[in-house]
């Protein structure tokens, strides 16, 4: 089974990506926001080069066509994207797929696509954006863990204080946005996250530490 780093920051552009790569992250999602459509391909290409230089796994959010063109090897799709994406084309290009879920029905839809990871959220209340779903909580996370055989990503409202509980409940990694990009010292906070998730990173069994 694919192994994911337990710390999964999500960044809005390559400027943020360059800041965090220097801190030693090994898994990151590029979720481009407010980028001109004509610049998406160039941003993905730059992100790929930056991540290659730092030996970091890059996941491209949403832009699966541009990811194929750029030669990326991992994309993340929301449920709306999943309905319109050409999964056959994506997989033919050798690209791995992560899929967001928020309900049992969405999980069923995601699993039918044979994803390389499934994300569940929001686990906790989040300030990132208005969510139509109530917080899922740790019990739902544990339920998802029993239902999926691929890696499970927890997202939404996860902080340094909460991440041990999320990982212990069954998540393979925690996706983080607000706790990094709104922090007064994102680089130091990234180091804090790397330290907090180190016990899970060093495991060979895939089980949470005692």
List the chain domain ranges. Answer: 7-197
pTM of the entire structure? 0.94
The CATH superfamily of 7-197 is Aldolase class I (3.20.20.70)
Total residues found in the chain within this entry: 210
Cα–Cα distance between 80 and 84 in angstroms, integer? 7
Cα–Cα distance between 210 and 208 in angstroms, integer? 7
Q: H-type helices in the chain, by residue range? A: 14-21, 40-53, 64-70, 79-84, 87-92, 104-112, 137-147, 163-168, 178-181, 186-196, 198-201
- Closest to 117 (Cα-Cα) out of 175, 168, 163, 158: 175
Per-residue pLDDT of the chain (210 residues; tens, 9 = 90+): 789 999 999 999 999 999 999 999 999 999 998 888 889 999 999 999 999 999 999 999 999 999 999 999 999 999 999 999 999 999 999 999 999 999 999 999 999 999 999 999 999 987 655 556 689 999 999 999 999 999 999 999 999 999 999 999 999 999 999 999 999 999 999 999 999 999 999 874 444 454
């Amino acid at each position: 089974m694919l192994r994911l780093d337990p710390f999964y920051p999500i960044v809005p552009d390559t400027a943020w990506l360059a800041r965090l790569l220097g801190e030693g992250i090994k898994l990151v999602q590029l979720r481009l926001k407010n980028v001109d459509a004509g610049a998406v391909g160039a941003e993905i290409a730059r992100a790929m080069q930056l991540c290659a230089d730092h030996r970091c796994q890059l996941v491209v959010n949403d832009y699966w066509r541009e990811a194929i063109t750029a030669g990326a090897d991992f994309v993340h799709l929301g449920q709306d994207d999943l309905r319109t994406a050409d999964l056959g084309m994506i997989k033919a290009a050798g690209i791995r797929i992560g899929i967001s879920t928020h309900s049992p029905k969405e999980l069923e839809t995601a699993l039918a696509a044979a994803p390389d990871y499934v994300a569940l959220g929001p686990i906790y209340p989040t300030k990132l954006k208005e969510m139509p779903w109530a917080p899922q909580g740790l019990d739902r996370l544990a339920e998802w863990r029993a239902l999926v055989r691929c890696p499970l990503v927890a997202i939404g409202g996860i902080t340094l204080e909460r991440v041990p509980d999320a990982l212990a409940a069954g998540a393979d990694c925690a996706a983080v946005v607000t706790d990094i990009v709104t922090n007064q010292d994102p680089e130091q906070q990234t180091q804090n996250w790397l330290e907090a998730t180190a016990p899970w990173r060093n495991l060979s069994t895939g089980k949470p530490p005692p």
